[in-house]
Structure 1
Amino acid sequence: MIELLEQVNHWHWLAFGLALLCLEVLGTAGYFLWLGISALIVGAILSALPLGWQMQWMSFASFGLITTWLWWRYQKGKDKKDDKTTTLNKRSQHLIGQFTTLEQDFPVGKGRLKLGDTSWTAVSEQKIEAGTAVEVYKVEGIILHIRQKH
Structure 2
Amino acid sequence: MIELLQQVNHWHWLAFGLALLCFEVLGTAGYFLWLGISALIVGAILSALPLGWQMQWMSFASFSLITTWLWWRYQKGKDKIDEKTTTLNKRSQQLIGQFTTLDQDFPVGKGRIKLGDTSWTAVAEHSLKAGITVEVYKVEGIILHIRQKA
CA shift at 1:87, angstroms?
2.9
TM-score (ref. length: structure 2): 0.82
- Distance in 2 (CA, whole Å) between partners of 1:130 and 1:89 is 31
Q: Secondary structure at the match of 1:69?
A: helix
Are residues 1:31 and 2:31 paired? yes
Residue segments in structure 1 that go unaligned for 5+ positions in a row: none
1:79 Cα deviation from its structure 2 partner: 4.0
- The offset of 1:55, in angstroms, is 0.7
Q: Distance in 2 between matches of 1:22 and 1:133?
A: 60
Secondary structure at the aligned position of 2:51 is classed as coil
State the match for 1:92 in structure 2: 92
**Aligned residue in 2 for 1:58:** 58
Q: 1:112 to 1:97 in 2, by over 3 A?
A: same
1:118-133 paired onto structure 2 within 5 Å: 118-133=118-133
Q: C-alpha root-mean-square deviation of aligned residues, in Å? A: 2.3
Q: Sequence identity, in percent?
A: 89
* Counterpart residue identity of residue 124, structure 1: A
Q: CA deviation at 1:80?
A: 4.1
Partner of 1:106: 106
Aligned length: 150
Give the drift of 1:51: 1.0
CA-CA distance at 1:141 after TM superposition: 2.0
Matched, 1:48 2:48: yes
1:117 aligns to 2:139 (yes or no): no
Task: Tell me whether 136-145 or 123-132 shows the greater mean CA deviation.
Answer: 123-132
The alignment's TM-score, normalised by the length of structure 1, stands at: 0.82
